[in-house]
Structure 1
């Protein structure tokens, strides 16, 4: 916590509005049982309003607002005290560090961050099934950022009362509490099918339109749609391997003549599922197909490309696939290497690289996914085992930040995090294989990536704080 004497210096004026003030560091919010209708603040903050000869008279938490009086805390305590009646009216779940925003005569405490998902169970110990541990860590990261974070789904919303019975995670484990509509929503739906369901889209639209709640990371990226957007930007083009959608035999053959190997990928796939590699060396008569089936890596040889496609895709699914240029990647022990790079928006609304790790394909595997016997290495570990120049690390960071800005510009909605899969060829050139709006977290099982793992949990909450501030500005402007 900051020294009491420094609090006034942390009450900054927002540069975008000129009159939004905010405590830069959170203060502990506690319930006071001996008062009514009052928010008690540290003495130096109270003196700031005394000098201005004006005091706030409204207090908000999420979508709830109540009239309040302001007083100073007896004994110069370094905290915020809120009388029990206001505590109950506003729907605060428990004592916790919060930020304090002031816009005109209105104060906002929080932020209140809702993490929207699906797949809930009736088990309070594991309310989101196998993902409960991930969400517990995500919600618990709020102790580092200030403000409340909770997990909820469509079925937990009470539209009549404007509240949500959300899941919070504390030292006592998971608990439910009824809170107002949040300041911001972080979308973490588990799959495309759930995301595209009518009920999901109706709920998200209602939250945005009726409550003006900013929502970030909506939707999964479509590989082809994203490729089409990126190839129109001159700064993205150098990172893009040649890619064609719904390929015909002639398309695949022409690309094989150029690159000697290509990848066929489901246009809306993920986790490496359904990827097949076709290989046709120029000095070889046969076509080879590398793929995975029944948890085994397989390699088949064919006399012709039509025969290969007919056998590998008996249901004629080429219309649902992409064909992508093969890249001769850098390798370790003859196993190809690619790189996972995470980028996140931070508390200033700026992109930063939060993680870079190498993924090495399992023996005989065409992808580097851990479920296919892939292996994760930190960059320092990999540099000890192969000749990896620092320039490669710098180029990966530059590529990730450049593409993050471009994707943000060309994507509907607010993007707050991206997981990139990059390849680096033998000349050191960086290639984009895939970008994910909801990146997997398998790489963080590596023991030396725990600091990065924690950072990628904290950053979405920091960005939510940034969006909350922007939302308060927007709503205040709309009221005037």
Structure 2
């Protein structure tokens, strides 16, 4: 029951009444049992149920119930019935930070991102809003959440949600005590499923995957806090090495060291003051001293991979994976990223360019079976990461590469992937799918928390 969302409207008639389609009411009659409570988010109140016979496939809620439940607006929702309680929703909150006092752009530069996320509510069937720590009224069990509708942003007071989707902007905000308190209280005191609970630690993920027989072949050789000898060994074997901060993101702080067999010099490629740089050194010792004055603490040295190229620039691939309405992983987005001239990464801010995979494969003559290999690798990695992590992981962004012999490599996995690739006009379908699926997964968690709470809350 309740797999297909139906429209919900306010009804001016009888008090404390939920009107449902005749077909649903007949099922209750056949089972000789009728719901006597109705719930939205953490709010549950008594009600009676009745059929409406106007042949419309929708739910009607009497005005007093509507106000008591704090239903935010008309729209399609799911209905689940369990142990004589009707659950409407889900009511899903996106937890984030960085709010302003401007209702036109309540979350600054990220307002458009969240407006696009919230716009999937009608496609999936849910109530969807964003909130921060200071919007919670713990005493009354309510949140003054931000909703996005056709006429723009508005704040509406709603009960605590059924599910929380974590979109905190950075590690610093995640570590704040206020952020931790919200997560712990809503999870532990109110038993609210919370997904994407934290940023990934690059080294922790690497260690889990490289020690897993199923995924070890996808990981390059890495060293945390490497010694100069380990760097020399990587250069001898692979000719180039990447250095990246273990807790970094957005490609910031990545450097590439190159040593070609027939060249006595060492080269370092990096980004400084918005420019791509290349420096030459007479010795590795001098390079490391100049480029890494603070040593390699919290740095990862990673073997260089000779990637397939487009117009002589290396290519890697961004894949987004999401859990769907059945709690299963699927690939929601796939794009090629081409490094800019002289750039150490493929990030657009470093001069990189986004293309569709089909454009790249056609122009480079790459066989299409590699597309299947990329997707299979991303799904395999998603399942293995999910298996080893605590809590609910709902989405992952991968940076994968294909070397010149057709092998797949994983460079990074991010729990809160950026969305730069979706500026490409041919990735509109991927953009929509990757925005829809987090809410579809929230519906899954909502249903599981009602029908199989032991399984959900022991995760």
User: TM-score normalized by structure 2?
Assistant: 0.98
Q: 1:329 aligns with which of 286, 297, 307?
A: 307
2:78 is aligned with 1:99: yes
TM-superposed CA distance for 1:317, in Å, is: 3.7
Distance 1:25 1:74 in 2: 20
Equivalences for residues 243-262 of structure 1 within 5 A: 243-262=222-241
Q: 1:282 aligns with which of 261, 283, 286?
A: 261
Equivalences for residues 184-263 of structure 1 within 5 A: 184-263=163-242
Distance 2:244 2:277 in 1: 16
Any conservation in 2 of the 1:263–1:278 contact (CA below 8 Å)?
Answer: yes
Distance 1:318 1:343 in 2: 32
Unaligned runs of 5+ in 2: none
Q: 2:6 aligns with which of 21, 27, 37?
A: 27
Any conservation in 2 of the 1:103–1:476 contact (CA below 8 Å)?
Answer: no
Q: 1:62 aligns with which of 32, 41, 47?
A: 41
Equivalences for residues 347-386 of structure 1 within 5 A: 347-386=325-364
Distance 1:373 1:465 in 2: 39
TM-superposed CA distance for 1:55, in Å, is: 0.7
2:407 is aligned with 1:429: yes
TM-superposed CA distance for 1:51, in Å, is: 1.5
TM-superposed CA distance for 1:474, in Å, is: 3.8
TM-superposed CA distance for 1:77, in Å, is: 2.4
Q: 2:28 aligns with which of 45, 49, 53?
A: 49
Distance 1:224 1:140 in 2: 35
TM-superposed CA distance for 1:475, in Å, is: 4.5
2:384 is aligned with 1:413: no
Distance 2:357 2:258 in 1: 30
Cα distance change of structure 1 residues 428 and 167 upon mapping to structure 2, 3 Å threshold? same
2:69 is aligned with 1:81: no
Cα distance change of structure 1 residues 35 and 434 upon mapping to structure 2, 3 Å threshold? same
Structure 1 outlier segments of 4+, above 6 Å: none
Distance 1:341 1:448 in 2: 15
2:18 aligned residue = 39
1:312 aligned residue = 291
Distance 2:412 2:57 in 1: 48
Distance 1:91 1:267 in 2: 44
Distance 2:197 2:454 in 1: 25
Equivalences for residues 137-152 of structure 1 within 5 A: 137-152=116-131
Range moving further from structure 2, 70-79 or 212-221? 70-79
Count of equivalent residues? 456
Distance 2:280 2:333 in 1: 39
TM-superposed CA distance for 1:74, in Å, is: 3.8
2:416 is aligned with 1:438: yes
